[in-house]
Structure 1
Amino acid sequence: MKLRRVVVTGLGALTPIGNDISSYWNGLVNGVSGAAPVTHFDASKFKTQFACEVKDFDALDHFDRKEARKLDKFAQYAMVASDEAILDAGLDLEKIDKKRVGVIWGAGIGGLETFQTEVMNFAAGDGTPRFNPFFIPKMIADIAPGLISIKHGFMGPNYTTVSACASSANSIIDALNYIRLGHAEIIVTGGSEAAVTEAGMGGFNAMHAMSTRNDDPKSASRPFDANRDGFVLGEGAGALILEDYEHAMARGAKIYAEVVGGGLSADAYHMTAPHPDGIGVVAVMENCLQNAGLQPEDIDAINTHGTSTPLGDVAELKAIGKVFGEHAKNININSTKSMTGHLLGAAGAIEAIASLLAMHHNIVPPTINHSTIDENIDPSLNLTLNKAQNRDVNVAMSNTFGFGGHNACILFKKLN
């Protein structure tokens, strides 16, 4: 069976450094930090009192009041980003076959704010079960793709991938494979997360996973820096329109790049910690290269998982050294989490978008906040430190990993 070619024809973003694609890209290339003191709740008693929140977002700018009350923030973010991507793709919803359009969406947690609110309200009461009738449909992680399909009438494959922080990268790979196999012509894919809540912040603090640099939030996310002390929690959404190449060409669509490969692996090591030698990361990048039919020497840029944790950053860079050998020195390696923070289930989507935009503009966004060399990191690697770099990017790789040892890797290539 001949596999179909798959391209990206639309993008949408709602991030801590920009509420649409244009402003997101502007924030990336200018090295803008999205970290600031938490505004969603009073975090004064928390170990970490800052996050990368979405800014200047009012649900009533996008939904009527009644509808907004029915939607958890993560679903609101999903619908706003997917609307931008659909518009960007120039899809004529009256002409396409909606039975051949699917929605595959990633979310690591889903409606955490809704769950927290309902449980806390119950605990504060007299034991009488008074729950919002929208509690369950607002909370469940799969509601986002359902809502997108309902709004637009898309009747193709529809579900959510949940693999912690790899969730939206998994959704993109699933979308790639469904189109490759001919099960759909267009799939709206990506991911969203809204975990900047008391439960989210408190839970990650209890794990000692997050930075506690409360005196200087903007510099707290510092991947590859010797003084990094954990990730910065982020929120938002990223959406991509994946489309059958022939279908896109027939309608004269704008094409950002071709999705040429997707790789998956497991660390099979620990609930939360990466394998110190990055063996699962080696496997996922090798799987992705093989799936794409590419050689290590073909890769120009890698957007790393790069969360700014002491163990994870070193393990990933060790794995890159093993897979790419001497060519690793020729690759622009970066971590856009230094600017956006860690969007958990939405991370893979917004970072895939960053890779696509780097190819589109031939500019690699920087890894900001780096000031001290880590002796455990190969100094010959180009980590694109503190300033964007101009270069031809013909093939870009995006890595995303999740608690549980889930690893996902995606390869994009400019059309010949």
Structure 2
Amino acid sequence: MDRRVVITGLGVVAPNGVGVPAFTNAVKMGISGISHDRQLQDLQFSCQIAGKPEITENMKLSYFSELELRGFNSTGILYGVIAGLEAWADAKLPSNGPEPDWDTGILFGSGTSGVDKFRESIYKIDDLQTRRLGSNVVAQTMNSGISAYLGGKLGAGNQVTTNSSACVTGTESILMAFDRIRSGQAKRMLAGSTGESGPYIWAGFDAMRVCTFRHNDTPEKGSRPMSASASGFVPGSGAGAMVLEDLESAIQRDAPIYAEVLGGNVNSGGQRGEGTMTAPNSAAVQRCITEALKKAGVKGKDIDAINGHLTATSKDSLEIENWAEALDRREADFPYINSLKSMTGHCLSGAGSIECVASVLQLYDGFIFPNINCEDLHPEIASVINPSCVPSGLIIKNINLLAKASFGFGDVNACIIFKKYKN
């Protein structure tokens, strides 16, 4: 028998807010976390703005010991551990005991891990200083470093692993955790993803000329999803996390419940048709959405709001068309839709999970957050949906069903359906 799966804890490290309270306020108020990055300027990047979470030294010491921080410079693991442990505490779960918790697993995604540590290691190796690399190089640079760190801090005894699917990573991790709980293989899973920050992560995208270069002097205006004046995405970083739990277990321990996960779907366009390494196959995108609805047991007409992928690139118009086709809803009948990237930039492998946290908060608190920098809706989008479906200001409204999708390099897709929890 399939079990009902609910969300009992949230954690987030985002460019516009570290911690759920700060993030919630920023999302509601339309506060941007994008700023000028002096390092990118010095390195002569075309795009010299970025979304980067602000982590203080005191905050680091709240989650890591001084010994752990010695030689530690993996921002991805840093962000993921902070977000993951916040979600765990938010779910009112106990700290790790002397024995493994066989009912708890971790599925925490990452695109890359420890790039700065790799760079540091390469220089030491080239300088014949291999013995001075330190004992934590492997833990910081292995792709599963984030799940390994969290697994040790929480004593998780169920599956502890890391997935990696480009920009789809976070949404996929939540769906994988959902499947494990629903099938009875775990009572709870800490799921999410993290994305590192810095020039060695962002340089490739700058070289591809997919990042904006027109707003180096006006950073907060730089990320413009669905806008006619969008000129590319703004690189970002951070992590999102949530505790998914068997409903029966959550009720037994009187846990807070933010929302219910009804189901979803993951697929690929196979880089066939119009799909390539960097472009989506529309047939696959539409199929991913329709199959997600089917698996969740809902209809397209039932969706109240969409949190899109929407990166402020030329593919935004195509994404709206794909949503309209998959839901069979157009013009004023289209649901509300928003893009968190207008405030955070594109957090890459961390994007899906951060955006899922924002999606769940909208269901739980009864609001639809604004799309900033979209006062000039792209005419191709305006020809498909009514501009009123793209809110430019905060809307206070109880919504029941929200669809969240992520689309990534490699022509991969994920769509998840969240529902407001009702007894």
Q: Structure 2-normalised TM-score?
A: 0.92
With over 3 angstroms needed to count, the CA separation of the structure-2 counterparts of 1:81 and 1:245, relative to structure 1, is same
With over 3 angstroms needed to count, the CA separation of the structure-2 counterparts of 1:65 and 1:273, relative to structure 1, is same
Indicate if the aligned counterparts of 2:317 and 2:378 stay in contact, CA closer than 8 A. Answer: no
Indicate if the aligned counterparts of 1:31 and 1:386 stay in contact, CA closer than 8 A. Answer: no
Q: CA deviation at 1:119?
A: 2.6
> What is the correspondence of 1:329-344 to structure 2 with a 5 Å cutoff?
329-344=333-348
Query: Aligned residue for 1:270?
Result: 276
Aligned-partner residue type, residue 69 of structure 1 = R
Q: CA deviation at 1:330?
A: 4.1
Query: Aligned residue for 1:22?
Result: 21
With over 3 angstroms needed to count, the CA separation of the structure-2 counterparts of 1:128 and 1:185, relative to structure 1, is closer
> What is the correspondence of 1:74-223 to structure 2 with a 5 Å cutoff?
74-93=76-95, 98-122=101-125, 125=127, 131-194=133-196, 196-212=197-213, 213-223=215-225
Task: Summarize deviations over 1:195-229 as a string: whole Å, max 9, x none.
Answer: x3222222111111211121211111100001111
Distance 1:363 1:93 in 2: 32
Query: Aligned residue for 1:309?
Result: 313
State whether structure 2 residue 364 is matched by structure 1 residue 365.
no
With over 3 angstroms needed to count, the CA separation of the structure-2 counterparts of 1:39 and 1:53, relative to structure 1, is farther
Query: Aligned residue for 1:405?
Result: 411
With over 3 angstroms needed to count, the CA separation of the structure-2 counterparts of 1:120 and 1:198, relative to structure 1, is farther
Query: Aligned residue for 2:45?
Result: 46
Indicate if the aligned counterparts of 1:115 and 1:139 stay in contact, CA closer than 8 A. Answer: yes
SS in 1 for 2:379: coil
Aligned-partner residue type, residue 104 of structure 2 = V
Distance 1:43 1:188 in 2: 38
User: How many residues are matched?
Assistant: 410
More moved, 44-53 vs 320-329 = 320-329
Aligned-partner residue type, residue 367 of structure 1 = N
With over 3 angstroms needed to count, the CA separation of the structure-2 counterparts of 1:214 and 1:122, relative to structure 1, is farther
Distance 2:322 2:239 in 1: 28
Aligned-partner residue type, residue 11 of structure 1 = L
Query: Aligned residue for 1:242?
Result: 244
Aligned-partner residue type, residue 201 of structure 2 = G
With over 3 angstroms needed to count, the CA separation of the structure-2 counterparts of 1:132 and 1:43, relative to structure 1, is farther
More moved, 92-101 vs 3-12 = 92-101
Task: Summarize deviations over 1:206-257 as a string: whole Å, max 9, x none.
Answer: 1112111212111111000011111111111111000001111111111111
SS in 2 for 1:90: coil
Indicate if the aligned counterparts of 1:52 and 1:232 stay in contact, CA closer than 8 A. Answer: yes
More moved, 74-83 vs 180-189 = 74-83
Distance 1:155 1:356 in 2: 27
With over 3 angstroms needed to count, the CA separation of the structure-2 counterparts of 1:266 and 1:293, relative to structure 1, is same
Indicate if the aligned counterparts of 1:107 and 1:345 stay in contact, CA closer than 8 A. Answer: yes
Indicate if the aligned counterparts of 1:54 and 1:236 stay in contact, CA closer than 8 A. Answer: yes
More moved, 323-332 vs 386-395 = 323-332
Query: Which runs of 5 or more residues in structure 2 are unaligned?
Result: none
Query: Aligned residue for 2:290?
Result: 286
Q: Alignment RMSD, CA only?
A: 2.1
SS in 1 for 2:288: helix
Distance 1:157 1:327 in 2: 42
Query: Which runs of 5 or more residues in structure 1 are unaligned?
Result: none
Query: Aligned residue for 1:389?
Result: 395
SS in 1 for 2:84: helix
SS in 1 for 2:329: helix
Indicate if the aligned counterparts of 1:109 and 1:164 stay in contact, CA closer than 8 A. Answer: no
With over 3 angstroms needed to count, the CA separation of the structure-2 counterparts of 1:48 and 1:247, relative to structure 1, is same
Distance 1:88 1:144 in 2: 19
